[in-house]
Copies of this chain bind each other. A is one copy, B any other.
Amino acid sequence: MGVAQRRAREKDELRRKILGAAAELFLEEGYQNVSMRKIAERIEYAPSTIYLHFQDKVQLVGYLCTETFAELDRRLEDIMELGLSPLETLRKSLRAYIDFGREYPSHYIFVFCTPESLFKNIEKESCQAVYGCGMSSFERLKAGLAECMHAGVIREADLELTAQSTWLMIHGITAGLVTCTSFPFVDKELLIEHSLDRIVGSLQ
């Protein structure tokens, strides 16, 4: 049993190594410039070895995103469990979203800023993984807004509309900061807080 366990652990380790290398390359080179070959080179394995762990490139990237966004979900969950007021929870969640995007810029860009035309010849199923994995955090955002409306701390309005509008705005902040790296932004901390003030304020 010990053997089987070790094997499983080793297998998982390599899997994580692959995902790690992929994430790094992603960050450094962007999705387009990440190839199975380069991933393999970085971990010093043969390209074909990757195929023992992932069906194809898109699946690999899909897992990468899924796993990374699970982290965002976890963070949002943690915030909800802090027992803060609905409004504080919302504000903290929005901030967590932005922070997350800045910490995992490549993942964020890949999932939310990659035009779908890029996946022209790729199976729908595989793409679902990539596009789907942002949905659960959106749902969380919506839930947070619902609670605020319920508590009467923000204006009553169409929930879906409000949620989408709010998401678009924090997406703008996240994406903008993350992709436009040579834009001469003012102090980013200030910029984020100022923007959140406006966004949250405009809900009230």
Chain A positions within 8 Å of B, measured between CB atoms, are 27-30, 32-33, 105-106, 109, 112-118, 120, 131, 158, 160-162, 164-165, 167-173, 175-183, 185-186, 190-191, 194-195, 198-199, 201-203
Contacts and interface: CB of A to CB of B under 8 A. Distances in A.
Contact of A115 (B115, B168, B181, B186): B181
Query: Max chain B CB contacts within 10 Å: which of A172, A175, A198?
Result: A172
A56 to B, nearest CB: 16
Given A27-B117, A29-B117, A172-B176, 6 more contacts: A109-B115, A168-B169, A168-B176, A169-B195, A171-B175, A201-B202
Closest 7 CB pairs of A and B: A172-B172, A30-B117, A198-B202, A30-B118, A202-B202, A113-B113, A168-B176
Contacts of A162: 194
Quickly give the copy total for this chain.
4
Contacts of A199: 169, 198, 202
A95 B173 CA distance: 18
A161 B203 CA distance: 21
Given A175-B172, A176-B168, A194-B165, A115 B120 contact: no
Contacts of A120: 28-29, 33
Given A109-B113, A190-B161, A175 B175 contact: yes
B113 A32 contact: no
Contacts of A198: 165, 169, 199, 202-203
